Amino acid sequence: MDKNEFALKNLPSGKIFPLEMPRYPNLWFFIDKSLALRERYNFAIRFLMGILEKELDLKDDFVNDIQNHNLYHLLNKPREGSDFHARVHPLQQYDDPENSARSHTHQVHARFYISSLYKEGKHIQRLNKWGRDIEFFLIPASVHYEVTTEELLHPYADFCPFCGITGNYDVPVNRKSQDYCVKIHDPLGLEYLIHGKIRGNNILENDGSGAKSLQVLKDKYALSIEEYTQETAEPFRLAEVFVSLKD
């Protein structure tokens, strides 16, 4: 099996994605076609990003200080073959009283991959959920929890008890590969977005409010989240998030 392909039969092959994409997406949204205006894929994307921004504060604010339209798009071009990106930040301040240079905040960074799916016709699936046959639009993302982009330590701080190689994540890492992300940052990103936790602990955003998670969507929509773990291929952890109308 390709290292960038998860062992779930319903997911598209990693071979259809851009070569620049370093890791198979670890978070897959399945949006009920009926939730999208005129049942079109582009409106499903707008629907998803609208609720993620409103409910989770997941937004593209990397270069909000730039007013020049052309410069904004030049500086904010998403990397790693993604079509667009967004983040939640600042999160979970780490303070080192003995060495201020080690102090930093964190972000959950999400890169979205949609154009390849659409081009190959792999962006829609009919599945049985909640006892109904539903056509879903697929929107995959690669999510990870890391040192904030604007920090000098970005993206890695090995010593950090939140994002580093510590505690349950004290694991061997091959720095010439995607190990750090696959083994540490990616699972933490999933944990935050799905459960509002990091390493099993509830966390606060820097304004003191409780961390938000995809669970809040249950208030307005039918929501099903399925998490998977595997040890023989990457990513080691992956989640599928199904969103539909409530009965």
- SS3 at position 115: helix
* Stretch (H or E) spanning 132: strand 132-147
Residue among 157, 41, 138, 141 at smallest CA distance from 88: 141
Q: State the residue for tokens 């799916």.
A: 117
In a domain, 3, yes or no: no
Instruction: Please list the pLDDT of the chain residue by residue as tens digits (247 residues).
Output: 455 567 676 899 999 999 999 999 999 999 999 999 999 999 999 999 999 999 999 999 998 888 898 988 888 889 999 999 999 999 999 999 899 999 999 999 999 999 999 999 999 999 999 999 999 999 999 999 999 999 999 999 999 999 999 999 999 999 889 999 999 999 999 999 999 999 999 876 667 677 889 999 999 999 999 999 987 778 889 999 999 998 8
Domain that includes residue 61, residue range: 21-244
- Secondary structure letter of residue 109 according to DSSP: E
What are the residues facing 129 on neighbouring strands? 132
Amino acid at 113: Y
Beta strand 237-244 with 27-32 is parallel
In a domain, 16, yes or no: no
Give the model confidence (pLDDT) of 162-198 as tens digits.
999 999 999 999 988 999 999 999 999 999 999 999 9
Residue among 17, 30, 64 at smallest CA distance from 222: 30
Tokens representing 179 are: 């190990």
In a domain, 14, yes or no: no
* Count: domains in the chain: 1
Cα angle value 147/150/156 (rounded, 5°):
25
C-alpha count within 13 angstroms, C-beta hemisphere, residue 240? 18
How far, in Å, CA of 32 to CA of 107, rounded? Answer: 29
Q: Do residues 247 and 131 make contact, with C-beta atoms less than 8 angstroms apart?
A: no
In a domain, 2, yes or no: no
How far, in Å, CA of 58 to CA of 67, rounded? Answer: 21
What are the residues facing 197 on neighbouring strands? 202
In a domain, 231, yes or no: yes
In a domain, 10, yes or no: no
* Phi then psi dihedrals of residue 72, to 5 deg: -55, -50
Full-model pTM:
0.94
Give the model confidence (pLDDT) of 61-78 as tens digits.
998 888 898 988 888 889
Cis-peptide into 235, omega within 30 deg: yes
Beta strand 201-202 with 222-229 is unpaired
DSSP secondary structure string for all residues of 187-209: HHHHHHHHHSEETTEE-BBTTSP
Q: State the residue for tokens 């989640």.
A: 239
